[in-house]
Structure 1
Amino acid sequence: MTMQADRDATTELWEPTPAALALDRAVARLRALQHADGWWKGELETNVTIDAEDLLMRQFLGIRTARETEWTARWIRTKQRPDGSWATFHEGPPDLSTTVEAYLALRLAGDSPAAPHLVRARAVILALGGVERTRVFTHLWLALFGLWPWDELPVVPVEQILLPTWLPLSVHDFACWARQTIVPIAVLMALRPQSDLGFEIAELYGGGPAQQGGAPPDAASPAAYPLVTRAGRRALLGGGLDKVLHILERHHPRRLREHALRRAEGWIVERQEADGSWGGIQPPWVYSLMALHALGRPVDEPVMRLGLAGWQRFTVEEPGPDGPVRRMEACQSPVWDTALALVALGDAGVGSDDPMVARAVDWIVGEEIGARGDWRVRRPGLAPGGWAFEFDNDFYPDVDDTAEVVLGLERVGAGGTAAAERGVNWVVGMQCRDGGWAAFDAENTSTLPLALPFCDFGAVTDPPSADVTAHVVEMLALTGRGQTSAARAGLAWLLREQEPDGSWFGRWGANHVYGTGAALPALVAVGVHPAETPVRRGVAWLEEVQNPDGGWGEDLRSYREPSARGRGTSTASQTAWALLGLLAAGEAGSPAVRRGIEWLVEHQEDDGGWDEPEYTGTGFPGDFYINYHLYRLVFPVSALARYVRSAP
């Protein structure tokens, strides 16, 4: 049973509140979604770039089928907007590279360039500058099919794999997701393979100068996520470095190149996971398959066969308005989703004696990682432990998942296990020198990778972030470690990183609502009184950005436009994040909380969940976003439960 609010202490008669009834319906929905093995996994929805690149990869490998092509093309068409463009998130602005790649996929599927939907797409592409202005990754795909000159791509030398870890620009200067992607791309750039699409795209060229690497990305938050400080100087450095690399590329020693290619091939093969993936995410997966194929491995070779079979499991197929559709998940999040579900159920009063929770606990404890991954480069003496995001990702457990797993186990009364203790110890050992925590690595803060013209899309380093640090600090407090030196240093880091407006930047969720909703519970859990200034400033910011309808929302444009912070259509997940922050700060009786709870109750669907087409998850700030389909349920459960428990 979930908790019921407002019982009359003087009588056995009581009436459940709307919030309590909504909570019961939501918990029932969560029960219905659990897999028989104990885990939860909501779909991880991204944009059609993933689907287009799937078809392009299959074309490159020679394995594309008519069924896959037809079903995927049908899906891509459903996501085109009336203006002819495709975006990277729901109701986002037209994205040039996404539109170009979608256009390529539809041409590959046989759509005529004279068809009205492609005529509209071409108009958008040309208005935005043509293929010349697309990102480096799109140029790379074009080069693989002879539609872009290899010499006009920024150089990623495969010899980089030979650099020792202590040298600048070794692969370990890059975040784990970036290094896994850069190594196979470097192989492709060295070998320069070329396949055939069967058509040309002259109609997409705008006639302007080719961009080699593009401009540096815009600032997200210089204090919390230092992507672009001293951007002009770095751009100058990167441009000069790229010129040098182009010269070296034309005159590389043959034997050194061959040695580097062998080393890179071994590096890639060694990091293939048990499920066939590389890091459990799309970019290194597809590039690794193509790199290994370019190195001479046929598609039926064991490593290739395992990789392709694993990728097939990331396929979503369902009926569509014009026939069945097919799309790909860029990643899958069962550990993360299950940890969040445990937190929510614990908040709702469902404990480890419930069979549903017991199955989830058994499953998630069994997912503990005992191997030493790439993190050992910066922390060689640290004992392994912790959890990853995916079913299989032993090389890259992450701090955020580990913190949430431990929080979830604690919430349902299953904490204190040996696995949880190992996880806590591993997380503490991954603390950065400045007191914060990053997602996958420690001290992954070099600014040199950010200067490379190749790095024009997505975050390529892994500095500490407010949301991850907050989750760790809250975990340390909940496990009785709130006064340890690690927790105090983490608290000091969070206090330093509070924005001038009172919010915190959200690296892995959108955006300041996410960061603030994570930071306030952490501060209070570790001993900051709700009346103290940092908490009051965070509360004031959340109250200021509450929508007139009572909910909260933040458009993903806030990563590039400060004026969009905390502004956007109300969503269930973001409303819940704000409520979690306010409730932790002792605001259960406030008008803002009351209106937020009313929004959740009024917008609940008949099945107990909430509708949320908006993307509220973040892959790369400013570039790549995610709609976690379970966010719209687990976070409202936590918010409603904590309100029911604490409401006056």
Structure 2
Amino acid sequence: MSASFREAAVSAGQVRRAYEVVRAALLAEIGPDGHWTGELSSSALSTATAVMAFTQCRRFARQPERFAAEYPMLERLTEGGLRWLAEHQNPDGGWGDTVLSLSNISTTMLGHAVFHAAGAADRFSATVDAAARYIERAGGVSAVLARYGRDRTFSIPILTHCALAGTVDWRHVLPLPFELACLPARFYKTVRLPVVSYALPALIAIGQVVHRHRPTPFLPLRWLRNAAIEPSLRILERIQPPNGGFLEATPLTSFVTMSLAACGRVEHPVVQRGLAFLVASVRSDGSWPIDTNLATWVTTLAVNALGEDLPQAHCRPLLHWLLAQQYRHVHPYTNAAPGGWAWTDLPGGVPDADDTPGAILAVIELAERLVRGGDADAAGEVHAARNAVRDGIRWLLDLQNRDGGWPTFCRGWGRLPFDRSAADLTAHAIRALRRWRDWDGEADTRLRNRADRAVERGFRYLARTQRPDGCWLPLWFGNQYAATEDNPTYGTARVLMAYAACGRWDDPACRRGVIGLLGLQNAGGGFGAGPDTPDSVEETALAVEALATVRSRSPDLQRAVQFLIGCVEDGRFRHPAPIGFYFAKLWYFERLYPLIFSAAALRRAALLADNG
């Protein structure tokens, strides 16, 4: 069954008018520096860990009076964080990661513990008692361990935080082999670290504080770990960004800071820089975000969403800015080769296989716009863009796993979920490779052939990982209302975009994907993560963009477009949903996601409507 926009209840004019509203709203978000920055959600998890870092530093400072004089703001920030937590506790007594999130055991245990650590349990007795009841109902320590399985990247930091507060016994905190950090980095994936590739700072700092409180009874290993303390601290100091924020992430930086402080190392440079980062990151309401910003990510998403409709005046400044964000040296943290892009323009970023394809697509779009705009001075910039994109392509090709998929940061780790290949990353890489292949006719033949082989391997990976219902699951996005917290809407929509980019409309996997995606639609036309999960602007927009791109004529697409137009007309297109994962099931929402995804979707729908 098929239908055109001319025959549907929603007209091409309605689609175009809604798109222009969203486009104007998105363009209004460009900052004074000429790019988008966005705004991440405030986080109970981040706030609890930041306050815990402050309490441990104040407690273990060797010269408390001098420390208090150097950091007079910590008492105020501690009180502000506690009050924010108390004011944003959910009715069930727990906390979610964002103010829009359902309660979870991890964040609730962190929040509960920090009131005890700060000596504020009596003053906030109602808050603390309600949290304790939630923790008991949810299963406490056992529930935390079950939530993360074999991956200790986050379960051990949570329990360490609680042990420092005295709410969990140290016997529940498994040791981390921080001595392995002293090995050459090329051996990390070989020794199968119990944490993911980006968690080396936590391995070192938390491993040391656990060793201090729970040393192994096996004396040779204890001696080895004692000998590894100073060398591993030197590694930690070397890989810390100059602003102190590991990954620009408040939780990771807080875990490192509180752990070293509790080892009596408050004066250590890593702790001092970590404190400076946390103090600088607090918001005016007393909370902390999960990360400083996703400026590079949201900028590339916005550029790619608007395409030809990005005003010409913005193209050159955005191109210059994006080219400046490319990593030109080996990354000191993950040892990533030059050529990739991270999610942020700040020093804590790490190049990855989602931001790099997004940047490649955006750089190509902007370079093409300069040429099509008749810019007489564009030759040098286009040449620079071509070289930068080639470096990015090589970076992506070198990252591809043996299974044909792409991981996030490091090739070949693969033991833990957030280091494995993922469908959303693989689809994004395929789109970038294909776009470059069509754009750069002057590229070396060997590089072009290598890219072609990588795309074929990527599609074989996608075919293998497609679910029986036709859907794909992403790594970096979820849905809190889904039983498994997965988000097949995001995953399937992103993979369909890759099939469309390569003209594989009739591929059986693509056809099954379209059917699978339509099967996730709610009765009212919107999308969540499946039938009977709440609609969101983001998920509906992602589905619309993908279905319009694969040229679907299903009446269900018209219903989804109509739902999205309704969101624009009543202002809901500005309301974000917490569908983002920031590592290890840490939820976030980004204020610009609904605007960006709606712009991309309505632009695609408008083009489809214009063609009848």
TM-score (norm 1): 0.77
Matches within 5 A, 1:259-270: 259-270=227-238
Residue type at the aligned position of 2:582: G
Does structure 2 retain, via aligned residues, the 8 Å contact 1:339–1:408?
yes
CA distance in 2, matches of 1:115, 1:424: 56
Q: 2:578 aligns with which of 615, 619, 633?
A: 615
Residue type at the aligned position of 1:525: A
Q: 1:437 aligns with which of 393, 406, 418?
A: 406
Matches within 5 A, 1:166-205: 166=187, 170=191, 174-192=195-213
Q: Give the 3 Å change call, closer, same or farther, for CA 296–67 of structure 1 in structure 2.
A: closer
Aligned CA-pair RMSD: 3.1
Q: Shift of the alpha carbon at 1:506?
A: 1.1
Report SS of the residue matched to 1:356. helix
Q: Give the 3 Å change call, closer, same or farther, for CA 500–46 of structure 1 in structure 2.
A: farther
Does structure 2 retain, via aligned residues, the 8 Å contact 1:520–1:581?
yes
Q: Give the 3 Å change call, closer, same or farther, for CA 109–51 of structure 1 in structure 2.
A: farther
Q: 2:462 aligns with which of 494, 519, 523?
A: 494
Residue 152 of structure 2: aligned partner = none
CA distance in 2, matches of 1:125, 1:516: 35
Q: 1:337 aligns with which of 292, 298, 309?
A: 298
Q: Shift of the alpha carbon at 1:56?
A: 0.8
Q: Shift of the alpha carbon at 1:442?
A: 0.5
Identity of aligned residues (%): 26
Q: Shift of the alpha carbon at 1:28?
A: 1.5
User: 1:103-132: CA deviations, max 9, x gaps?
Assistant: 233453735378444433332223234567
Does structure 2 retain, via aligned residues, the 8 Å contact 1:553–1:566?
yes
Q: Give the 3 Å change call, closer, same or farther, for CA 134–514 of structure 1 in structure 2.
A: closer
Q: Shift of the alpha carbon at 1:407?
A: 1.1
Q: 2:567 aligns with which of 587, 595, 603?
A: 603
CA distance in 2, matches of 1:492, 1:524: 16
Q: Give the 3 Å change call, closer, same or farther, for CA 117–295 of structure 1 in structure 2.
A: closer
Q: Give the 3 Å change call, closer, same or farther, for CA 411–599 of structure 1 in structure 2.
A: farther
Residue type at the aligned position of 1:619: Y
Matches within 5 A, 1:346-425: 346=307, 349-350=309-310, 354-373=312-331, 384-393=338-347, 396-412=350-366, 413=368, 416-425=385-394
Flag structure 1 segments of 5+ consecutive residues without an equivalent: 8-14, 194-244, 319-324, 451-458, 555-564
Q: Shift of the alpha carbon at 1:571?
A: 0.9
Does structure 2 retain, via aligned residues, the 8 Å contact 1:314–1:329?
no
CA distance in 1, matches of 2:266, 2:473: 45
When you count helix as a share of all residues, which structure comes out higher? 2
Q: Shift of the alpha carbon at 1:162?
A: 3.5
CA distance in 2, matches of 1:635, 1:91: 19
Residue type at the aligned position of 1:177: Y
User: 1:532-585: CA deviations, max 9, x gaps?
Assistant: 32111111112122111111112xxxxxxxxxx565211111111111221121
2:269 is equivalent to residue 312 of structure 1: no
CA distance in 1, matches of 2:216, 2:574: 52
Q: Shift of the alpha carbon at 1:271?
A: 0.6
Flag structure 2 segments of 5+ consecutive residues without an equivalent: 59-70, 146-155, 370-381, 439-447, 479-486
Residue 37 of structure 1: aligned partner = 33
Matches within 5 A, 1:238-253: 246-248=216-218, 252-253=221-222
Select between 402-411 and 170-179 the one with higher mean Cα deviation. Answer: 170-179
Q: Shift of the alpha carbon at 1:640?
A: 0.6
Residue 550 of structure 1: aligned partner = 525
Select between 328-337 and 497-506 the one with higher mean Cα deviation. Answer: 328-337
CA distance in 1, matches of 2:473, 2:144: 28
Q: 1:593 aligns with which of 550, 557, 568?
A: 557
Q: Shift of the alpha carbon at 1:410?
A: 2.4
Does structure 1 retain, via aligned residues, the 8 Å contact 2:528–2:540?
yes
CA distance in 1, matches of 2:115, 2:212: 28
Report SS of the residue matched to 1:604. helix
Does structure 1 retain, via aligned residues, the 8 Å contact 2:192–2:413?
no
Q: 2:110 aligns with which of 60, 77, 101?
A: 101
CA distance in 2, matches of 1:288, 1:365: 32
2:289 is equivalent to residue 328 of structure 1: yes
TM-score (norm 2): 0.81
Q: 1:472 aligns with which of 426, 429, 435?
A: 429
Q: 1:626 aligns with which of 585, 588, 600?
A: 588
Q: How many residues align?
A: 544
Select between 508-517 and 143-152 the one with higher mean Cα deviation. Answer: 143-152
Q: Shift of the alpha carbon at 1:289?
A: 2.4
Q: Shift of the alpha carbon at 1:531?
A: 2.9
CA distance in 2, matches of 1:514, 1:85: 28
Q: Shift of the alpha carbon at 1:349?
A: 2.1
Does structure 1 retain, via aligned residues, the 8 Å contact 2:43–2:288?
no
Q: Give the 3 Å change call, closer, same or farther, for CA 147–575 of structure 1 in structure 2.
A: closer
Does structure 2 retain, via aligned residues, the 8 Å contact 1:388–1:401?
yes
Report SS of the residue matched to 2:354. helix
Residue type at the aligned position of 2:436: T
Q: Shift of the alpha carbon at 1:145?
A: 3.6
Q: Shift of the alpha carbon at 1:263?
A: 1.5
Residue 547 of structure 2: aligned partner = 582
Does structure 1 retain, via aligned residues, the 8 Å contact 2:327–2:341?
yes
